[in-house]
Amino acid sequence: MGPGTRLVVFCQGCPMRCAYCHNPDTWSFGGGERMTVGQVLDLFDRNRPFYRRGGITASGGEPLAQPEFVGALFEAAHADPGGRIHTCLDTSGGAWDAARPERCERLLANTDLVLLDIKHSDPEGHRALTGRDQGVVLSFGDELSRRGIPVVIRHVLVPGITDTIAELEGVGRIISRWDNVCGLDALPYHAMGVHKYEELGMAYRLEGMAVMDPGRVPALRDVILRARAMERS
Ligand code: SF4
């Protein structure tokens, strides 16, 4: 969720449908609680000492799906009279609209760090896993690179789907083209959100899938890093 202790704003609505999503309650663009920028900053201010080494993270759902609001929030966070607040965008990139980049201008001009999910390195695998075109995500990554915004890449390791050597090397190759990548979080697949599907009366596509052994994660992460280093050498 970003460095330090942070106020996390969960933006309602997501255009992706990741099979392992543990927040299906955030998919709908119709729900959620409406808040103003001022209300969010008031919340931050009430616990400001607590967030001293942190900041504000916009997560979701998909914060890129409402770039005007998050842009206004981040701009206000940077100009906050109590001191500049660090801003972090936690995104899948799936709502990036390359045809209308101006919608995100204010947001990207005021984002200190992006956490960008690379869900799957293979275009068909990406569509099967998320329901969306991978090209949108890569286009957003290219935009972040062009702007030099620091990015931490995240990759969820799902047994048999996103933990194969070919897949991990593919992720390494994708991120090798971005000079602004400053970190890599390899995240073990877990099933903690499954109960939400039951509560919502929705089918869980990975029913019965074994969780990822956290002990395997460092070695799998190394495969990505080695592929990235090889591609850049
Ligand atoms: S992008 Fe995130 S919120 Fe959207 S479906 Fe995927 S995991 Fe869930």
CA nearest ligand 1 atom 6, residue: 18
**pTM value surpassing 0.85:** yes
Regarding the beta carbon of 224 and ligand 1, being less than 6 Å apart is answered no
Classify residue 216 by burial, with Cβ atoms within 10 Å: 0-12, 13-18, 19+: middle
Which residue among 1, 9, 18 has the greatest number of ligand 1 atoms within 8 angstroms of its CB, and so is best to mutate?
Answer: 18
Give the residue-averaged pLDDT of 179-207. 94
CA nearest ligand 1 atom 3, residue: 61
CA nearest ligand 1 atom 8, residue: 21
**pLDDT range class, residue 192, cuts 50, 70, 90:** confident
Regarding the beta carbon of 23 and ligand 1, being less than 6 Å apart is answered yes
Q: Ligand 1 centre from 27 Cα, in Å?
A: 8
What's the pLDDT score for residue 199? 94
Count of CB atoms within 10 A of residue 201's CB? 6
Flag whether pLDDT at 141 surpasses 90.
Answer: yes
Regarding the beta carbon of 61 and ligand 1, being less than 6 Å apart is answered yes
**pLDDT range class, residue 126, cuts 50, 70, 90:** very high
pLDDT tens column, 81-119: 999 999 999 999 999 999 999 999 999 999 999 999 999
In a domain, 34, yes or no: yes
Regarding the beta carbon of 24 and ligand 1, being less than 6 Å apart is answered no
Token duo for residue 207? 């029913």
| Mean pLDDT of all residues belonging to the chain | 96
What's the pLDDT score for residue 1? 84
- Find the helix or strand (DSSP H, E) in which 87 lies: strand 86-91
Regarding the beta carbon of 18 and ligand 1, being less than 6 Å apart is answered yes
In a domain, 149, yes or no: yes
Flag whether pLDDT at 165 surpasses 90.
Answer: yes
Regarding the beta carbon of 93 and ligand 1, being less than 6 Å apart is answered no
With b for 16 or more beta-carbon neighbours within 10 A and e for fewer, the 5-44 pattern comes to: ebbebbbbbbbbebbbbbebbbbeeeeeeeeebeebbeeb
CB within 8 Å of 92: residues ≥ 6 apart: 14, 16, 18, 62, 64, 116, 117, 119, 130, 137
What's the pLDDT score for residue 51? 95
Regarding the beta carbon of 26 and ligand 1, being less than 6 Å apart is answered yes
CB within 8 Å of 13: residues ≥ 6 apart: 26, 27, 28, 29, 32, 60, 61, 62, 65, 66
Number of structural domains in the chain: 1
Regarding the beta carbon of 64 and ligand 1, being less than 6 Å apart is answered no
CATH of the domain at 200: 3.20.20.70
Side chain identity, residue 139: S
Give the residue-averaged pLDDT of 137-156. 98
**pLDDT range class, residue 5, cuts 50, 70, 90:** very high
- The rounded distance, in Å, linking the Cα atoms of 55 and 48 is 9
In a domain, 1, yes or no: no
- Rounded alpha-carbon distances, angstroms, from residue 175 to 77, 145, 186: 29, 10, 13
In this structure, are residues 87 and 114 in contact, taking their beta carbons and an 8 Å threshold? no
What's the pLDDT score for residue 193? 85
In a domain, 60, yes or no: yes
Flag whether pLDDT at 31 surpasses 90.
Answer: no
In a domain, 129, yes or no: yes
Percent of the chain with pLDDT over 90: 95
What's the pLDDT score for residue 134? 96
Regarding the beta carbon of 11 and ligand 1, being less than 6 Å apart is answered no
Count of CB atoms within 10 A of residue 73's CB? 28
CA nearest ligand 1 atom 7, residue: 21
Range of 111's domain? Answer: 6-232
In this structure, are residues 20 and 158 in contact, taking their beta carbons and an 8 Å threshold? yes
In a domain, 25, yes or no: yes
- The rounded distance, in Å, linking the Cα atoms of 161 and 119 is 10
Q: What angle do CA 90, 95, 99 make, to 5 degrees?
A: 130
